[in-house]
């Protein structure tokens, strides 16, 4: 059994960690509540396309990087 089995991977959470950025930082950058970003990072909610584009821009990644499995 590998470490990833049974765990939901969240690309936003991974990219934030890779970029050494916090939920709070991202929330401030795109003008949403920190709780909203937290929900996105735990898969409780998903960002709409407009927010997804803003996230990609702020994190300087291609939007596909946030969508891939």
Query: What crossing angle do the helices spanning 23-30 and 34-41 adopt, rounded to 10°?
Result: 120
Q: What is the pLDDT of residue 69?
A: 65
Q: What is the pLDDT of residue 62?
A: 95
Q: What is the pLDDT of residue 44?
A: 94
d(CA 36, CA 62): 21
Q: What does the pLDDT look like over 5-57, one tens digit per residue?
A: 434 579 999 999 999 999 999 999 999 999 999 999 999 999 999 999 999 99
The DSSP call for residue 44 is S
Closest C-alpha to 27, from 18, 17, 14, 40 = 40
**Which superfamily does CATH assign the domain made up of 11-67 to?**
lambda repressor-like DNA-binding domains (1.10.260.40)
Q: Are 41 and 23 in contact (CB under 8 A)?
A: yes
Q: What is the pLDDT of residue 22?
A: 97
pTM assigned to the model:
0.83
């Amino acid at each position: 059994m590998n470490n990833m089995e049974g765990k939901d991977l969240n690309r936003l959470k991974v990219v934030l960690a890779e970029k050494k950025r916090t939920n709070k930082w991202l929330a401030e950058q795109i003008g949403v509540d920190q709780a909203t970003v937290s929900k996105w990072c735990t898969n409780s909610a998903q960002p709409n396309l407009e927010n997804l584009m803003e996230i990609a821009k702020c994190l300087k990644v291609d939007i596909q990087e946030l969508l891939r499995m």
